[in-house]
């Protein structure tokens, strides 16, 4: 072993009396040698100052070789910048079908799967029991005699290195910017590590007012919403927050909701102001004012994570899917099928084969009307909808009834905008084939008890379709718990791109449905004599899919699940109550739709003002709302109206947004000039 040497190269003297430790003089000389100037540099002024024995710790005689520290990224495993975690779009091998009551934790890295054989051309008989291609027959589909094809759930390709993909154009090195606020702006984000799921029995987050005073527990606020307290455990007596001034759920006006996680969970606080910074368009200005986006029932804005994912797809993965042998086709196929798996998990569906990609909820309803309805609805049969429906859940059924000689029946609502369940059940009978209802009214915000609606329909032998366009962004959804046969939603109302949505269908129901449209992708074999179809979901996805926007939908779901739908629903419930209470203080304002269970929507009319004029006036203050009939004319006419003003909330809205709306309405009502600052 070589002797230790000083910076100059001279050997350092050793103490012959000890084999392990030098004496104080040796230590002093060692310290002086270590602090000498490097070659060709001037020595510091204190280099030759003597060091006392107590000035430095004792050290072993043999020098200790310390390896260079490993550089680690501060991002969570799924964030760009940690390629070892694998591609963010690959589905995990084990995924819970029900989202637990969350601590707000970063998503876990997905697992990777290897390329299975037979991707491009599935072979008959490869998966006994799978739904396979079928001979063309508009009158009947013979599942027994048709060859079977294995569409497979596995991911086909796992790229070995995502560094190039993770470096989005214009954003610097991979990992420079996090995909979501809670990985960078929350306290201690740089030390964040994945946390285990919070048990269902854990207490929910508590609401904290931003002003002075003691925190008010979230549980103190009245909650009639079935999806908030279904699994709640008994709690001790809670403080009284005051009697609501309306006949539906509101909260005390001095409570400004900002949720924080339960103590000890290790999760980041839910901060809507930080979330707002994840959405670039919310930083823009309109007519010189900061944009206040309160038109979320029409469409939602997109987080930077979704925008970046679309850019990454077009930069590194763009190709058609399923049929090519080259690398980009494999990447594109992986991303597309991973998005399907994310939708499955988000809805709690049993299998990705139950998920059909469509353009949106409207196309999804039309697909069911044409593929299922034309086969199962006959003359004299009945379809039941409600007064709350969007036109998209009325017109396709009217068209089908006109074609088949069937009858459309309508479940009534009370003066609060709630479906009268007793009257609904009276409509059902032996000729009822389908019940098709919304989960949340787009015009009133009423939350419909779809689990009860479905159970009643099934008792009468009817299938059930649930329109989830207005629900999926505001509350957890579990299609198996609901029990519905079909569930449809639009991606653009879920912070994803436009032009993409999904249909969930029970496997046993989809198996008996003929295709709606013909073309590529949905076929297994074509001759001039006959055509064999693929099994679901491919049978219903004719032509080139909207691959990029499906991938964007998957990114939006990642973003939402990183926060937690339970957390989002609780925060929005508080914010909705705050907004309701504040708006009731505007002179001449009347709320339309006062059901005790509501989400997002705050429709109103203002004395002396046309709704469209109110919308235009708010726009001049930078506040975006919808004014009109909202493609739901029947329910507005039920209340004697042709139009309302419709603000609608999302989880990036804040009490300041509500305050800006209320201040603008008060100025408008008083005739004062517009003057919102900022």
- pLDDT (tens digit, 9 = 90+) per residue, 455-491? 999 999 999 999 999 999 999 999 999 999 999 999 9
- Give residue 340's pLDDT: 99
Please report which residue ranges of 584-654 form alpha helices under DSSP H: 611-620, 633-638
Q: Which of 226-240, 256-270, 399-413 is predicted least confidently?
A: 226-240
Mean pLDDT of 431-437: 99
Percent of the chain having pLDDT more than 90?
58
- Give residue 676's pLDDT: 60
- Give residue 103's pLDDT: 39
What one-character DSSP code corresponds to residue 371?
I
- Give residue 404's pLDDT: 98
Q: Which of 401, 463, 484, 631 is catalytic?
A: 631
The SS3 call for residue 522 is coil
Number of Cβ within a 10 Å radius of residue 110: 24
Are 158 and 229 a contacting pair, CB within 8 Å?
no
- Give residue 257's pLDDT: 63
Q: How confident is the model at residue 187 (pLDDT cuts 50, 70, 90)?
A: very low
Nearest to 102 by CA among 570, 466, 670: 570
CB under 8 Å, gap of 24 or more: what pairs does 190-197 form?
Answer: 190/74, 191/74, 192/74, 192/76, 192/106, 192/268, 193/266, 194/76, 194/77, 194/105, 194/106, 194/108, 195/103, 195/105, 195/265, 195/266, 195/267, 197/100, 197/102, 197/103, 197/105
* 631 counts as catalytic: yes
Domains and CATH numbers, the chain: 1-66 (no CATH), 224-303+569-670 (3.90.1150.10)
| Sign for the pseudo-dihedral over CA of 173, 179, 184, 189 | negative
The SS3 call for residue 658 is helix
- Give residue 530's pLDDT: 96
Mean pLDDT of 257-284: 72
- Cα gap 111→259, rounded to integer Å: 31
Instruction: Give 532's strand partners.
Output: 135, 525
- Cα gap 76→192, rounded to integer Å: 7
What one-character DSSP code corresponds to residue 189?
G
List % helix, strand, coil for the chain (3-state, nearest 5). 30, 10, 60
Q: Which of 32-46, 316-330, 423-437 is predicted least confidently?
A: 32-46
Q: Which has the higher per-residue pLDDT, 661 or 324?
A: 661
Q: How far is CA 21 from the centre of its chain?
A: 62
* Residue corresponding to tokens 């000498």: 36
Q: Is the pLDDT of residue 15 over 70?
A: no
- Name the pTM for this structure: 0.67
* Residue corresponding to tokens 């569930």: 487
Q: Is the pLDDT of residue 112 over 90?
A: no
Task: Give the pair of three-digit tokens for residue 619.
Answer: 């726009």
* Residue corresponding to tokens 């969007």: 390
Nearest to 623 by CA among 304, 287, 297, 299: 287
Nearest to 361 by CA among 439, 449, 453: 439
- Give residue 324's pLDDT: 81
- Give residue 45's pLDDT: 45
Are 285 and 291 a contacting pair, CB within 8 Å?
yes
- pLDDT (tens digit, 9 = 90+) per residue, 322-354? 988 999 999 999 999 999 999 999 999 999 999
- Give residue 631's pLDDT: 97
Q: Which of 126-140, 298-312, 386-400, 489-503 is predicted least confidently?
A: 126-140
- Give residue 28's pLDDT: 59
- pLDDT (tens digit, 9 = 90+) per residue, 351-379? 999 999 999 999 999 999 999 999 999 99
Q: What is the mean pLDDT of the chain?
A: 74
Exposure string of 393-429, with b = 16+ CB inside 10 Å and e = fewer, is: bbbbbeebbeebebeebbbebeeebbbeeeebbebbe
- pLDDT (tens digit, 9 = 90+) per residue, 578-636? 999 999 999 999 999 999 999 999 999 999 999 999 999 999 999 999 999 999 999 99
Task: Give the pair of three-digit tokens for residue 213.
Answer: 């005073």
- Give residue 270's pLDDT: 85
Nearest to 354 by CA among 485, 542, 465: 485
């Amino acid at each position: 072993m070589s002797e230790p040497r000083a910076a100059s190269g001279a050997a350092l003297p050793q103490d012959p009396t000890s084999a392990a430790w030098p004496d104080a003089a040796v230590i002093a000389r060692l310290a002086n040698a270590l602090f000498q100037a490097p070659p060709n540099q001037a020595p510091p002024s204190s280099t030759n100052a003597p060091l006392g024995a107590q000035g430095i710790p004792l050290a072993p005689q043999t020098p200790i070789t310390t390896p260079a520290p490993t550089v680690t990224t501060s991002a969570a495993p799924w964030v760009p910048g940690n390629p070892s975690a694998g591609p963010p779009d690959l589905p995990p091998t084990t995924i819970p079908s029900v989202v637990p009551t969350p601590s707000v934790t970063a998503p876990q890295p997905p697992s990777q799967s290897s390329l299975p054989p037979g991707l491009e051309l599935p072979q008959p008989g490869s998966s006994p029991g799978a739904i396979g291609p079928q001979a063309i027959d508009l009158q009947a589909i013979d599942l027994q005699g048709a060859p079977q094809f294995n569409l497979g759930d596995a991911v086909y390709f796992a790229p070995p290195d995502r560094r190039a993909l993770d470096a989005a154009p214009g954003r610097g090195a991979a990992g420079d910017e996090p995909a979501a606020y809670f990985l960078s702006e929350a306290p201690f984000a740089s030390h964040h590590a994945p946390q285990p799921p919070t048990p269902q029995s854990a207490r929910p987050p508590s609401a904290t007012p931003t002003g002075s005073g003691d925190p008010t527990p979230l549980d103190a606020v009245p909650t009639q919403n079935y999806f908030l307290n279904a699994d709640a455990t008994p709690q001790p007596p809670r403080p009284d927050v005051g009697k609501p001034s309306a006949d539906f759920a509101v909260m005390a006006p001095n409570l400004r909701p900002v949720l924080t996680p339960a103590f000890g969970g290790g999760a980041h606080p839910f901060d809507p102001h930080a979330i707002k910074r994840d959405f670039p368009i919310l930083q823009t200005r309109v007519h010189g004012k900061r944009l206040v986006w309160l038109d979320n029932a029409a469409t939602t804005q997109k987080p930077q994570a979704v925008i970046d994912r679309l850019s990454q797809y077009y930069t590194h993965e763009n190709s058609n899917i399923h049929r090519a042998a080259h690398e980009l086709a494999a990447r594109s196929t992986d991303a597309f099928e991973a998005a399907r798996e994310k939708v499955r998990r988000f809805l709690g569906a049993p299998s990705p084969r139950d998920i059909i990609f469509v353009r949106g909820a409207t196309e999804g309803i039309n697909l069911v009307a044409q593929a299922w309805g034309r086969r199962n609805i006959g003359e004299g049969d009945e379809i039941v909808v409600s007064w709350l429906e969007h036109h998209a859940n009325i017109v396709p059924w009217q068209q089908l009834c006109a074609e088949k000689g069937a009858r459309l029946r309508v479940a009534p609502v009370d003066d609060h905008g709630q479906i009268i369940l007793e009257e609904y059940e009276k409509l059902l009978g032996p000729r009822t084939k389908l019940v098709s209802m919304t989960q949340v009214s787009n015009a009133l915000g009423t939350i419909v008890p779809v689990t009860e609606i479905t159970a009643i329909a099934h008792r009468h032998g009817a299938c059930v379709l649930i329109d989830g366009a207005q629900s999926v962004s505001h509350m957890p959804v579990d299609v198996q718990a609901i029990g519905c046969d079909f569930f449809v939603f639009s991606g653009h109302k879920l912070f994803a791109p436009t032009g993409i949505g999904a249909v969930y269908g029970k496997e046993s129901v989809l198996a008996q449905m003929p295709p709606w449209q013909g073309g590529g992708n949905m076929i297994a074999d074509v001759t001039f004599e006959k055509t064999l179809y693929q099994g679901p979901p491919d049978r219903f996805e004719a032509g080139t899919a909207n691959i990029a926007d499906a991938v964007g939908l998957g990114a939006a779901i990642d973003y939402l699940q990183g926060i937690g739908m339970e957390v989002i629903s609780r925060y929005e419930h508080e914010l909705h109550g705050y907004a309701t209470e504040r708006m009731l203080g505007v002179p001449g304002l009347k709320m339309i739709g006062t059901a005790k269970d509501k989400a997002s929507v705050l429709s109103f009319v203002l004395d002396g003002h046309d709704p469209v004029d109110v919308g235009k006036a708010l726009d001049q203050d930078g506040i975006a709302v919808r004014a009109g009939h909202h493609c739901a004319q029947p329910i507005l006419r039920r209340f004697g109206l042709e139009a309302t003003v419709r603000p609608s909330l999302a989880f990036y809205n804040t009490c300041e947004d509500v305050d800006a709306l209320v201040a603008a309405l008060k100025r408008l009502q008083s005739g004062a000039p517009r003057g919102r600052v900022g």
